[in-house]
Structure 1
Amino acid sequence: MNKSDLIDAMAADAGISKASAKAALESFTNNVTNTLKDGGKVALVGWGTWSVSERAARTGRNPQTGKEIQIAAKKVVKFKAGAGLSDTVN
C-alpha cells in the first residue's frame, strides 16, 4: 500500500473526501516528524511507538575495496510494534 492507496482507504473507511483524508494523513505525518525532530516520542497504545536513537560513529569496511572507512554518528528513527499490532500480524 502506498500513500495514495492509504488516502483512498482512509476516505472510504471514514466516509470523508479524499482531500480531507489527505489533509489528515499529512497532519499526522507532520506531527510525528516534528515530535521526533524535537527529540520526543510518539506512542499509539496497542499499535506502536516511534522514537529517536543515537547511533555512535564507527569504523566500517568498503566491501568492494576492503578499505576501512569512518561512518559518522547520526540519529535514527526506531519503531517498536505494540502488542495489538504484533498479535494481529502473527
Structure 2
Amino acid sequence: MTAGGTLTRADLAEALHKEVGLSRADSAKLVEEILRHMCEALHKGENVKISGFGSFVLRDKGERVGRNPKTGVEVPIAPRRVLTFRASQMMRDRIVAAS
C-alpha cells in the first residue's frame, strides 16, 4: 500500500506478484481483467458480489428537490443511477478487529 494509505492497482498487482508468483506484467494484466469484468457487469446493470468482501450495487435514485445552500433556492435534482458498496459481515468484522 502507498504511503498515503490508498490501495492502488499497482499495489494489487505487486501483491499478486509476491504472493502468487506471477510475473509483474501478468499480475498487472490480471488485475486489469478483473476490474474490466466488474465494470462491464455494472455497465450492463448487474450487481457485483465478491464473497467475503462485499457487494457493488446499482441503485436508481428518483427525481427530488434540492436546495442551494448559499441562496436557499430550491432546484430539481434529476433522476440518476448511483453505485453503492456494502461490505460483507466478514469484512466488517475484520475492520472492527483491526481497529
List gaps (5 residues or longer) in structure 1.
none
| TM-score, structure 2 normalization | 0.81
Whole-angstrom distance in 2 between the partners of 1:10 and 1:72 = 42
CA RMSD of aligned residues (A): 1.3
Q: How many aligned positions are there? A: 90
* 2:19 aligned partner, one-letter code: D
The equivalent position to 2:9 in structure 1, one of 3, 20, 23, is: 3
SS in 1 for 2:45: coil
Which position in structure 2 is the counterpart of 1:71? 77
Q: Which runs of 5+ in 2 are unaligned?
A: 1-6
1:10 and 1:54 map into 2 onto residues whose CA distance is: 35
CA distance in 2, matches of 1:55, 1:13: 41
Superposed displacement of residue 22, structure 1: 1.2
Dislocated runs of 4+, deviation >3 Å:
none
| TM-score under structure 1 length normalisation | 0.88
CA displacement 1:5-27 (0-9 Å, x = unmatched): 22212221211112111111111
Considering Cα pairs closer than 8 Å and 6+ residues apart, tell me whether 1 or 2 has the greater RCO. 1
CA shift at 1:2, angstroms? Answer: 2.1
SS of equivalent to 1:43: strand
Over the matched positions of the two proteins, sequence identity in percent amounts to 29
